[in-house]
Structure 1
Amino acid sequence: MGSKCFKSILVAVFSLVFVFFFNVSKVHAAPGDPAEAGQKEAPKLNPSKIILEHVSDAHEFHFYTFNKKPVFIPLPVILYSPTKGWSVFMSSKFEHGEQTYNGYRLLTEEYVGEKKLNDKVYRPGKIWAVNEAGDVDPSGKVYDLSLTRNAVQAIISALILLWIMPGIAAKYRNGQGVTTAPTGFQNVVEPVITFVRDEVGKSNLGDKYEKYMPFLLTVFFFILINNLLGLIPGTANVTGNIAFTAALGILSFIAIMISTGRHYWGHIFNPPVPGPIKVIMFPVEIMGIFTKPFALIIRLFANMISGHIIILSFICLIFIFGAMNTALGWGTSPFFVLLSIFIYLIEVLVAFIQAFIFANLTAVFIAQAFEGGHEEDHGHHAETVVA
């Protein structure tokens, strides 16, 4: 009973916070009103811009803007130009793209639109060299090696993983959790490790599971940590970045290729089908080598970015309705806030599910690469996992 009461109070608090701090509707005075004299028309709400800014990479951790003053953590900008050499400074020098610094400019959507630049070439968020007038210099080559928020958060996740797991491993080596009951954080992580071992390792890899458990556990916990950190407001959605998931997919591809044998390649180059059909099946089997890691890449990327987009869409709807009618904005705010909280809680569950699916499918693909086939050696049965 007390738990239900606490949850109800928590939901009410979240609703009030969102309503009072985020539902800001501007009422415009009639034309000619002295209060509007000399003032510019308020910019229109652009939901697509807001959503893309939140899910894309950036040179800072932006938390919120209060009284037109952004609260953020600037990140190091590391640039190399053949003409200027190395330049290292903090991203705050750009003042969110409003200023140039040391001959460089961080492009914003407003700047690209004002200068009528091709946004496919001069993408907002990218750093370009500028001339003395402050305009983009297309001839200036710049190599951007900056620590963006995706890169910084991936490093933080790796450090968290290296901080947690070796300590737990040391306890197991000392017999704690083996001859005695686990204690502390080990007691929290052990059920997860056991689940991955039994449901991912043993069920797919059979007797060979121990060889691959370090890789599978590392992939699982690294993805899980990044998924959970991405749910903190102001942080980066690292697993919603195609470059990050591509790197994980390449690692899985390497693990699959290392596990292949004569049976695997014999099936590729000499499919067990009638002669004329072999001509058709050969390119299909070759494509299958690459479609497996590609499926891992797209699945994780699409599932993790979609949840963030849905939450941001619900929040943007509050402002859209508020721009149409102030009362309508206030009236629909609690509904959209509750929907956002509901999706947010689902995203916590999805964070665990997607880490499991990536590790599980990697184990399935590795098992298929075994010489002789896992089906023959261990009676393997593959289960279809739906994200």
Structure 2
Amino acid sequence: MMKRALYISGLSLILFLTASPVWASNQDEAKEELNAKEFITEHLADSYEWQIVSNGTKYIAIPLPVILHSKTTGWHLFPSSHFHHGANSYKGFEIAAEGKYKGKIMETDADGSASRPLDLSLTKNAASLLFASLLVILIIMGVAHSLKRDPMKPRKGFTGLIEMLVLSINDEVIKPSIGKDYQRYAPYLLTVFFFIFTNNLLGLIPLFPGGANVTGNIAVTLVLAVATFLIVNLTGTKEYYKEILWPDVPTWLKVPIPLMPIVEIVGTFTKPFALMIRLFANMMAGHSIVLGLTMLIFITASMGMAINTSMTVLSVIFTVFIDLVELFIAYIQAYVFTLLSAVFIGLARIESHFEKKKAVETEKAA
């Protein structure tokens, strides 16, 4: 893992150093000051193409399919390359350069007004999400096939690493948090862990097929949080719902004003909300810091060679350091999301005192 981290960081260093003079020359020619805030926002935002290389004027990108439905002209399917990086319109559609829907496809009607068509396009984040999902499936199926051939043989290398992660999450997180029927929820929780971890790692790689801000997109974390919310509340025990609707507190806190039941019901929504915001905010912040440190190279390009060189060295050093920290955070955030999901599921699987006593007696008799 450390070797890979050093490799990625070294590659980033080379890219930053080689890109610096190109960007500097472009800034001198255009005589414009680089807007760091706009630069970072654009790189964190979703897009209709997967950019590979760019020097400010020329770029290489993989066009993604644009799927639109207009109220007047019906369905449209075409590659995003027709927009020429958002500069031109195509068939009455164009990518908004400013305003509320900046970066989104807009349709110009016959009267000149702009509106949003039904947009089902495959964007960069969606493509990266599909790629990460396929990658997780291939990795897990490959490891499972390898273990199935010879279960007793000790594993080394990548297979051993994946096996260690599976056993660690299953035995140290899922089983203690949920309890006796933990195996029922293990597939979902392990899938969530590897999905988040894989997307976090891909987001740190500056080259294709990495670089997408998937787990830093609140729509993705919202779906993950909703999935946990549904599992928690659809599989909860009677005792769980009793503690929500009729908790063991003084009666005056429940009737005539159901104060505590309201608090408990609100709590069922704040838990997944915390899951969503925690993952989104941490990953978004990490990407923003890396981009902000990188921008020091370009911001100081017009301040003279001495200042620019010293700031370039500092920027690269700090960026490499933050990248290494982000590798650790990529694992921590996947671990925390899985842990909290398991804890919430475990809290919804509580049993009454009578059922617990009966289970203990059955265990002793066995």
Question: Shorter-chain TM-score: which interval?
Answer: 0.7 to 0.9
Q: Distance in 2 between matches of 1:28 and 1:236?
A: 26
Classify the secondary structure of the residue corresponding to 1:80. strand
Flag the 1:292–1:206 CA change in 2: closer, same or farther, 3 A. same
Q: Is the 8 A contact 2:26 2:56 kept in 1?
A: no
Q: Distance in 1 between matches of 2:237 and 2:8?
A: 56
Match of 1:160 among 135, 145, 153: 135
Flag the 1:181–1:71 CA change in 2: closer, same or farther, 3 A. same
What amino acid does structure 1 have at the position aligned with 2:142? Answer: G
Structure 1's unaligned 5+ residue stretches are 30-38, 113-118, 379-387
What amino acid does structure 1 have at the position aligned with 2:283? Answer: M
Match of 2:216 among 240, 251, 255: 240
Flag the 1:10–1:161 CA change in 2: closer, same or farther, 3 A. closer
Q: Name 1:130's counterpart in structure 2.
A: 108
What amino acid does structure 2 have at the position aligned with 1:83? Answer: T
Q: Name 1:35's counterpart in structure 2.
A: none
Write out the 4+ residue segments of structure 1 that deviate beyond 6 Å after TM superposition.
9-13
CA deviation profile, 1:25-80 (whole Å, cap 9, x unmatched): 35999xxxxxxxxx8x5232111111111111101111332372112111111111
Q: Distance in 2 between matches of 1:347 and 1:322?
A: 27
| Correspondence list, 1:136-155, <5 A | 137-138=113-114, 140=115, 142-155=117-130
1:188, CA displacement in angstroms? 2.3
Q: Is the 8 A contact 1:60 1:148 kept in 2?
A: yes
Q: Is the 8 A contact 1:129 1:136 kept in 2?
A: no
Match of 2:240 among 260, 264, 268: 264
Q: Return the TM-score normalized by structure 2.
A: 0.86
1:136, CA displacement in angstroms? 6.0
Q: Name 2:342's counterpart in structure 1.
A: 363
Flag the 1:306–1:27 CA change in 2: closer, same or farther, 3 A. closer
1:141, CA displacement in angstroms? 5.0
Q: Return the TM-score normalized by structure 1.
A: 0.82
Same amino acid, percent of matched pairs: 39
CA deviation profile, 1:172-198 (whole Å, cap 9, x unmatched): 444x23x33236643221100110011
| Correspondence list, 1:98-247, <5 A | 98-108=87-97, 112=98, 119-120=99-100, 123-130=101-108, 137-138=113-114, 140=115, 142-174=117-149, 176-177=150-151, 179-182=152-155, 185-234=158-207, 235-247=211-223
CA RMSD of aligned residues (A): 2.8
1:10, CA displacement in angstroms? 9.5
1:204, CA displacement in angstroms? 0.8
CA deviation profile, 1:86-119 (whole Å, cap 9, x unmatched): 11111111001111111111122xxx3xxxxxx1
Structure 2's unaligned 5+ residue stretches are 358-366
Classify the secondary structure of the residue corresponding to 1:89. strand
Q: Distance in 1 between matches of 2:116 and 2:193?
A: 39
What amino acid does structure 1 have at the position aligned with 2:141? Answer: P
Flag the 1:193–1:103 CA change in 2: closer, same or farther, 3 A. same
Q: Distance in 1 between matches of 2:11 and 2:229?
A: 46
Q: Is the 8 A contact 2:178 2:349 kept in 1?
A: no
Q: Distance in 2 between matches of 1:10 and 1:143?
A: 38
Q: How many residues matched?
A: 346
What amino acid does structure 2 have at the position aligned with 1:196? Answer: I
* Structure with the bigger percentage of helix: 2
